[in-house]
Structure 1
Amino acid sequence: MILGHIGVRKGSKGVPGKNFKPLCGKPLIDWSLEPLLANPRVGAVVVSTDDPVIHDHALGMGTLDIGLRPDELATDAAPKWEVWQHALEAAEAALGREVTAFVDLDATLPLRLPADIDGALDLFEAERPDMVMSVCEARKNPYFNLVEPDESGALHVSKPLPGGVWARQAAPTVYEHVGIVYVLDPAYLRRAETIYEGRVIPYVVPAERSVDIDNPFDFRLVELLMRERLALGDGINPIPPIPPAS
């Protein structure tokens, strides 16, 4: 059985309460929770949170109850990996069985499509890696236009190659890690201590679906893009105007 997971804390420094903040008519988390619950390949869904309001909301949506997240996993410094491990263990205890794949969605990337979940699952089933991780092609490249200072303060390309790289197209491809979807082998999640210990392969998504909400500007940008998507997909229901920033 495939287990779906969303991890959200009640605290947020960049956008207070962002995981439950309304976005185009529903809480931000629902843009990730609904496609997980609707996917017929996902047998159960859990939400790992320290927020009783989000916990009760998720249960009302039909998620499996694993209780509130332990305090030590509800801090800014808590590793995502340990949150995943706790959720897997708690879910398997509640289910009384082991799961065959662990699918995680970051709630702060609501522009994903349902097809992204299936695409990552298809890749996982075809390749059988330890983990599938969503990525998008990086906007800046350390072989070409990312620079860093040396001891004297002079700038140099971060990852120089012999002869240099003088055109973006000639630079090696690099990716940005984005949390649109992860699919993990539960055995790998149980035994490993960090993400990159095993064979982690990319699931490539477009940059326009990879906007991660980290601050108020990101939230407004995602809201604008989501309203545009809804307007194009549904000409019946009007989209209310975006309120001015407070």
Structure 2
Amino acid sequence: MILGHIGARKGSKGVPGKNFRPLCGKPLIDWSLDQLLSNPRVGAVVVSTDDPQIYDHAVARGALPIGLRPAELATDAAPKWGVWQHALAAGEAAAGQPVTAFLDLDCTSPLRLDSDIDAALDLFEAERPDMVMSVCEARKNPYFNLVELNDQGGLKVSKELPGGVWSRQAAPKVWEHAASTYVVDPEYLRRAKTIYEGRVIPFEMPPERCTDIDTPFDFRLVDWMMGERLKGEHHG
């Protein structure tokens, strides 16, 4: 069984209450929740939250009742990995059957398409890695135009190669970790302490579908982008 998961903390320093704030007419979490509940490959869905309003809403929509997230997993500093481990164990117990893949959709990245989820699941099934992680090509490259201070307080390229890199095309390809879509092997999730211990492979998405909401500006931007997409679908 594929277990779909969304993590949605109550607090947010950047955008208070953002996970339940309306975006294009429905709570932000529902853009991801709808995708999990409507995907025929997803056997069950859990929402890990410390917010009773979000929890009751999710369970009413069809998520498994796993209870509120433990307090130690509800702080700013709580790592995503521990939240996932708890959600996997609670979801497996509530569903009463073993999980074959743990599919996490990030609540604050609602612009992914249904086809992105299926493509990530297909990649996981084809490659059998420890984890598939969404990425997008980075706008800046540490071999070319990301800089940091050297010991003398002057600038140097962050990642230096012999002879230097003088064009973007010549630089090794790097991606941004796009907090959007993850597929994790349950055995790896139970065993590992952090994300990158095992074989984590990239699932590349276009940058315009990876915009993550961290600030009020991001919220306005994603609301506008989603509105443009919905207008296109309406006219299409």
TM range (shorter): over 0.9
Matches within 5 A, 1:11-30: 11-30=11-30
Given the alignment of the two structures, is residue 149 of structure 1 paired with residue 149 of structure 2, yes or no? yes
2:120 counterpart SS class:
helix
Q: Distance in 1 between matches of 2:213 and 2:71?
A: 24
The residue aligned with 2:128 is 128
How many residues align structurally?
Answer: 236
Residue identity in the other structure for 1:100: T
Matches within 5 A, 1:162-181: 162-181=162-181
Given the alignment of the two structures, is residue 221 of structure 1 paired with residue 226 of structure 2, yes or no? no
Q: Percent identity?
A: 75
What's the offset of the Cα at 1:60?
1.1
CA RMSD after TM alignment: 0.9
What's the offset of the Cα at 1:94?
1.1
The residue aligned with 1:243 is none
Q: Distance in 2 between matches of 1:168 and 1:201?
A: 23
What's the offset of the Cα at 1:49?
0.1
CA deviation vs aligned residue, 1:35-72 (integer Å, no higher than 9, x gap): 11100000000000000000000011111110000000
What's the offset of the Cα at 1:97?
1.9
**Structure 2: 5+ residue stretches without partners:** none
The residue aligned with 1:244 is none
Matches within 5 A, 1:1-246: 1-235=1-235
- TM-score (normalised: structure 2): 0.99
Q: Distance in 1 between matches of 2:170 and 2:207?
A: 20
CA deviation vs aligned residue, 1:74-111 (integer Å, no higher than 9, x gap): 00000000000000001111122210000000000000
Residue identity in the other structure for 2:36: L
Q: Distance in 2 between matches of 1:36 and 1:94?
A: 17
Residue identity in the other structure for 1:89: A
Q: Distance in 1 between matches of 2:74 and 2:2?
A: 25
1:178 counterpart SS class:
strand
1:161 counterpart SS class:
coil
CA deviation vs aligned residue, 1:191-225 (integer Å, no higher than 9, x gap): 00000010000000000111100000100110110
What's the offset of the Cα at 1:28?
0.3
CA deviation vs aligned residue, 1:121-158 (integer Å, no higher than 9, x gap): 00000000000000000000000000000122100000
Q: Which runs of 4+ in 1 moved over 2 A?
A: none
1:165 counterpart SS class:
coil
Q: Distance in 2 between matches of 1:217 and 1:96?
A: 42
Q: Distance in 1 between matches of 2:219 and 2:169?
A: 31
